[in-house]
Amino acid sequence: MTDNQTPETILIVDDERGPRESLRMILASNHRVLQASSGADALELIRSDHVDLITLDLNMPGMHGQELMRTVRSEFPNIEIVIITGCGSIEWCSDPNALRAFGDGRIVTRQILIHK
């Protein structure tokens, strides 16, 4: 982004407040950040506002992340999607059949490390 450009808009979609707020704090200094706690709320924002990139949790109540991703890919093919999820495993992420459902989306598994 140059000084004359508007910052990119990132939509953080996660039903858990903690991960949403953590990403917001990291991204807000250089990006315009929107947040949604459900797939339905995310679609409402996407349909009413410009979004460049979505960070998406998969395991959410109501509309699952996969369903939201399929809808976004169909209606807004230019929006980039990064999956950041606490469900899944490295093995799952390397399974070509599982990845095919996500097109060219990026998948990051969220892990919590506790130091004692």
User: What pLDDT, in 10s, does the model give residues 64-84?
Assistant: 888 898 899 899 989 988 888
Domains by residue range for the chain, with CATH = 9-109 (3.40.50.2300)
How far, in Å, CA of 79 to CA of 53, rounded? 5
Mean pLDDT (the chain) is: 80
E-only strand ranges, 4-111: 9-13, 32-36, 53-56, 80-85, 106-109
**Higher-confidence residue: 47 or 60?**
47
